[in-house]
Every structure is written in structure tokens, then in C-alpha cells.
Amino acid sequence: MAPDDIRELFREFGPVEVRRLFGGAGIFADGLMLALVSDGLIYLKTDEHNAPAFEREQLEPFTYATSKGRRGVMSYRRMPDRLCDDPDELAAWARDALAAARRSGTGKSRRRRKSARQPKGASPGSRRVRP
């Protein structure tokens, strides 16, 4: 699935950024990864709030092979195929996936997290002052 095709698919949801990721692609909005593409399939971010909708439709989670041959499962589940033909419903599922990404706090730039750290030995409210 080409990046332009993905952006067109998510048009009703709003602008998305598509970045290469582990042989597939990550789909980002507001700096957060709300979906991933692997082997031509789209998987949306899930958590305890939106997972029941995926479970009702028996949509499998994203899995991958590790170097030791085991399969790991991430918090992404396959998007229903029908959403490719229903941009309004896709937008609703994508909004729920983005909300899950916001709640998890993952996908944010590491640079932002590091800059928020206090210097060693500093109290939580203190700031480093340069002479």
C-alpha cells in the first residue's frame, strides 16, 4: 500500500503522516502512531477502551516473528476490511485509535521526553540557572 493511497484512505479522518517502519509503515496523526501497515493490511491502535469493538468482529492482533522464532503481540488489531469502502466509519475507528495512542502515551518523540527530565540531584520544581 503506497503512502499516497493511505493518505487518501484516511482523508475523512484528517491529515496523516506515513513513515517507513520495519518493512511496513506507521500511520501518524498529531505526532502519535495510530496505525501500522504490514503485508498490505492496516492495524489500528487498541487499548481497553476500543478493544471490545475489535473483539466483537473477531479481528486478530498484529503479530511478528522475533529473532528467537517466537511470536509477539502488540496493541494493534486488524482494521475491518469494510472500512476501506466507508470513509466516515473509517474516520470514527481512526479517532478511537488516536485516542488509544494518546492514552498510552507512546509514539511521542523521544527528544521531547528527554528534555523534560530534571538534571541529576535537582528537585522537581527547580530549574537550572546559567551564570
What CATH number has the domain bearing residue 64?
Answer: 3.30.1460.30
Residue with the larger pLDDT of the pair 9 and 130: 9
The parent domain of residue 87 ranges over: 3-108
Tell me how crowded residue 41 is: count the other CB atoms within 10 A of its CB.
14
The reply to whether the predicted model has a pTM over 0.85 is no
Statement: residue 123 has pLDDT above 80: no
pLDDT grade for 76, boundaries at 50, 70 and 90: very high
For position 67, what pLDDT does the model report?
Answer: 85
C-alpha 35/C-alpha 74 separation (Å) is 11
How far out from the chain centre does Cα 81 lie?
A: 18
Residue 87 lies in a domain: yes
Q: How many domains does the chain have?
A: 1
Please state the φ and ψ torsions of residue 102, each to the nearest 5 degrees.
Answer: -65, -40
